[in-house]
Amino acid sequence: MNYPFNIFHFADTITAKINNHKLQVIVCDKDMIASPEFKAKNMTMKFPFLETPEGNLCESVAIAKYLAHGHATLNGSSPVERAQVDQWLYWSVTSYFPDQVKAMVAVFGFDKTFGFPAVTQADYNTSATAVKAHCKTLNGVVQGRNWLVGDNITLADIVIFTHVVPMAQTILDAGFRKAMPHFSAWFERVASHKDVVAVMGHVKPAAKPVKPNLAAPVEKKKEEKKAAAPKEEAPKKKEKVGLDALPESSMVLDDFKRMFVNHPDKKGGAVDEFLKMFDKDGWSIYFLHYDMYGDEGKVMYKTQNMLQGFLQRFDKFGKYSFARHCVMGTEEKQEIMGVWMWRGIGIPQECHDHPQFEYMQPRKMDILNNAEDLALLRAFWGAEDGDVINGLPVYQRYWHK
């Protein structure tokens, strides 16, 4: 079989390798593509293109399904599994791959090498966000299992993996993968499959994201000076945005902080006074629990540094928030937990912009109607050395105010 090959279509050669097909790989040049003989074979002029004694095929997924024919599990081992494999193949080519194109053009500079339109910052953000959302979907699918379909590697794993590789090596950095442990384990599992390694080599995901090549922002042309000087207009008030744009709250944060920090009984009287001041329509209370990964939480000074770094990156958020965060546990095993109050209802954009917030597991608290939540707030905001909260001893306490 003759197989003119495109660098992004490894799925077919991996499938052929697993199913013991021998492919002759041909890299097409311009003369070959322009020849009448080649056009007669490949009437759609799409690549990759597979020439067989039985007829010719194009489109990578169709070729992969053909090359998987006869294998016990690649196309699925039951009618339901075969349908599920097809489901993921369609999802990959109609949802995942189209959404990653602009991000891929930007990080690989395809606008300069292949003449693609340059990608704007907004389009790149949209594309990268969509890619991460799709990977979050995969993270949920492979939770508790090794493969997307059934108990063995299938075309679903192979095709989606090859589509994900360009992003895994550029924008799906270590921080993102840490937040998606099931997706990351699946990716590494496929990457280490012996036939995948034989075709693609050892695929190494990115430690840090690659800076994209973006279109230069369009500069507004300066207006030509008019003969008559325009009348001076009164300066416009700066429009409020984000949390500044929220309606005024009956609770003034500075007044609350001053009261609470100076009150001698933080677990009791200070919280009682706070409840009189609390504006449930203007502020939210959340419990945050850091999701430890791998070897994290096993060395005390590292855990303390991790929490201190998290809080330092929230310095500018102080005018909208108040919190008590603790390192808890023992020298051998630590946890990071805290109770936060911040402006607005729900999780604000300032949290989503924090590079470590995605590793926190947030839970909205109802301190006015839930006695356990109120007791938890008292425990954290009034924590002292030797206290035990959630069954864990308090080791180190940090204010955010």
Residue 299 DSSP one-character state = S
Q: What percent of the chain has pLDDT over 70?
A: 92
Closest CA to 106 of 94, 123, 130: 123
pLDDT digits (tens, 9 = 90+) for 200-249: 999 999 988 898 988 887 665 555 455 555 666 666 666 665 787 888 99
The per-residue pLDDT for 293 is 77
Whether the Cβ atoms of residue 326 and residue 380 lie closer than 8 Å to each other? yes
Asked if residue 186 has pLDDT above 60, the reply is yes
Dist. CA 318–CA 299, nearest whole Å: 29
Please, where are the H alpha helices in 180-242? 181-191, 194-200
Whether the Cβ atoms of residue 298 and residue 283 lie closer than 8 Å to each other? no
Dist. CA 172–CA 135, nearest whole Å: 9
Asked if residue 259 has pLDDT above 80, the reply is yes
More confidently predicted of 170 and 48: 170
What does pLDDT average to over the chain? 88
DSSP annotation string for 301-353:
HHHHHHHHHHHHTTGGGGGGEEEEEEEEE-SS-EEEEEEEEEESSS--HHHHH
Asked if residue 392 has pLDDT above 90, the reply is yes
Going by pLDDT thresholds of 50, 70 and 90, the confidence category of residue 24 is: confident
| Residue carrying the six token digits 């000076």 | 225
Asked if residue 174 has pLDDT above 50, the reply is yes
The mean pLDDT of 140-159, rounded to a whole number, is: 96
Asked if residue 178 has pLDDT above 90, the reply is no
* Cα–chain center distance at 320: 26
More confidently predicted of 335 and 6: 335
Dist. CA 68–CA 80, nearest whole Å: 17
The per-residue pLDDT for 232 is 65
Amino acid at 336: I
Dist. CA 364–CA 381, nearest whole Å: 16
The per-residue pLDDT for 356 is 81
- Highest-confidence segment of 193-197, 212-216, 297-301, 350-354: 193-197
* Cα–chain center distance at 310: 18
pTM: 0.58
Rounded to 5°, the CA angle 373-376-381 comes to: 125
Going by pLDDT thresholds of 50, 70 and 90, the confidence category of residue 3 is: very low
The per-residue pLDDT for 130 is 92
Closest CA to 357 of 290, 271, 260, 298: 290
Dist. CA 289–CA 358, nearest whole Å: 11
The mean pLDDT of 190-207, rounded to a whole number, is: 94
The per-residue pLDDT for 5 is 41
Asked if residue 7 has pLDDT above 50, the reply is no
Dist. CA 46–CA 32, nearest whole Å: 14
Asked if residue 401 has pLDDT above 60, the reply is yes
Structural domains of the chain, with CATH: 2-68 (3.40.30.10), 79-200 (1.20.1050.10), 248-400 (3.30.70.1010)
Asked if residue 381 has pLDDT above 60, the reply is yes
pLDDT digits (tens, 9 = 90+) for 333-358: 999 999 999 999 999 988 888 878 88
More confidently predicted of 271 and 355: 271
pLDDT digits (tens, 9 = 90+) for 48-73: 888 888 888 888 899 999 999 999 99
